[in-house]
Structure formats: structure tokens, C-alpha cells
Amino acid sequence: MSKDNFDFESFKEEAMKGLYEGKKMGGTDGVFAPMLKHLLESMLEGELDHHLQENKASGEINRKNGKTKKTVRSLQSGHFELESGRDRNGTFEPKIVPKRQLIITDELEGNVIAMYARGMSTRDISGYVKEMYAMDISATEISNITDKVIPALNEWRNRPLESVYPFVFLDCMHYKVKDNGSVQTRAVYNILGVNRDGRKDLIGIYLSENEGAKFWLSVL
């Protein structure tokens, strides 16, 4: 859809109607789906790299062998396609999203969104990755996954934005995320822009302990 035929007035009316009905602007229309896909696929790639390194260390011959795709679903972000690498021997078993799992849990989605929203050091990200897996994994595997996660996060944070967004929406969603070993409910503030072509961009995302007007003032 080009900017010449995008009906801004109709979009505005539908958006306002949705807001009055209590609909979330960042929900199942897929605004968060690309972020989930990008980071989860990076983590799966780190898992596969570690698996192949272990094989090599034990003298087993193995290598990457293309990718497999499946459609997964989350409550907040709807359906999206997730790719995972395969190994030639067929011994790789993904952990963050197992082979036969088709549902992204609210907690996993919340933890991924929190990683985008937080300003994290390499050490913080490494610790958070360990918490997300909720199991004993080696320091080497954590390092391999973190090495994939950091570029993915930086790519999103440094992405170019449009110079003008005719429409900007402020929204807040609540997720359960892991924090220092316990599950806590956190408010995720998101700023959604609609460009001249009618495409939605997630301009910014921020994490807070609770929802309030004062936090929006600090962002704006």
C-alpha cells in the first residue's frame, strides 16, 4: 500500500474505535512478532552452535543441515513463522522452543520483550539468558547463546526510523518476567508509529514495575 492510497482517516477511525473498546495496539496484529522471531531464532542458532561444538570435542562428525520451519502462536503476538537450524545427524534438540512446541508461553514472550526493553550489559544479558532457560546449562552454552543475542538486540536498537510518523500511539502491556530468580509482573510501555505508507513501526519499548502517567512523562 502506497502513501497515495492509504486511507489515513479510516485508519484513524478504526484505531480510535479500538482504543475505546480497550483493544491493545501492540497485540495480535503482529507488532511484537518480528521481535520475538528475531531473538528466538538467534537463541536457537546459539544452541545449535554449542551442540556442534560439543560434537566436535567428542570426536563426532556433525554439521549444520539447513533449517526447519514451523508456525507458532503467542497470546499477545498471534501467529508467526519460526526457523530453527538442523544438524546432519539429527541429534540437535532445541531447548528454548522444543521441536514439537507450537505455543510461545506468556512468560517466555515477556522475557524476550524485557530483553529488548532493558538496557543491559553483556554480563546482564548472560545472566538473563541463564534465567530464561530455567535449567542448568554450561557457561559455554550461555556464552554461545549470548554471542547471538547481543547482535540481535543491537540490530533492533540501532535500526533506522522514519523521520515522520503521522500517527503515534502509546500503549502499555503487562508481562510476567523473571527477575532475580522470581517471576514478577512488569509493565511494558510501547510507542507505536504509523508511517506515510500505513506500515506500523514499534518506535520504542520500555520496562517499568508498574503502569502510570509519570513514567510516560519521563519517556516523552
For the chain, 220 residues long, the average pLDDT of each consecutive 10-residue run is: 53 57 51 86 96 96 96 86 96 93 88 81 84 80 92 88 86 78 81 83 81 70
Specify whether 77 is located in the same domain as 52: yes
Q: What is the pTM of this model?
A: 0.76
Number of structural domains (the chain) is 2
Looking at residue 2, what is its pLDDT? 43
Domain membership of residue 52 (yes or no) is yes
Looking at residue 86, what is its pLDDT? 96
3-state secondary structure of 180: coil
Looking at residue 27, what is its pLDDT? 47
Which residues touch 220 (CB under 8 Å, ≥6 apart)? none
Domain boundary (119, 136, 157) is at 157
Specify whether 152 is located in the same domain as 166: no
Specify whether 102 is located in the same domain as 128: yes
Looking at residue 78, what is its pLDDT? 82
Domain boundary (157, 187, 206) is at 157
Domain that holds residue 193: 8-23+162-219
Looking at residue 39, what is its pLDDT? 92
Looking at residue 182, what is its pLDDT? 76
Q: In whole angstroms, how large is the CA radius of gyration of the chain?
A: 19
Looking at residue 114, what is its pLDDT? 84
Secondary structure (DSSP) of 81-143:
EEEEEEETTS----SSS-TT--EE-HHHHHHHHHHHHS---HHHHHHHHHHHHTS---HHHHH
Specify whether 82 is located in the same domain as 55: yes
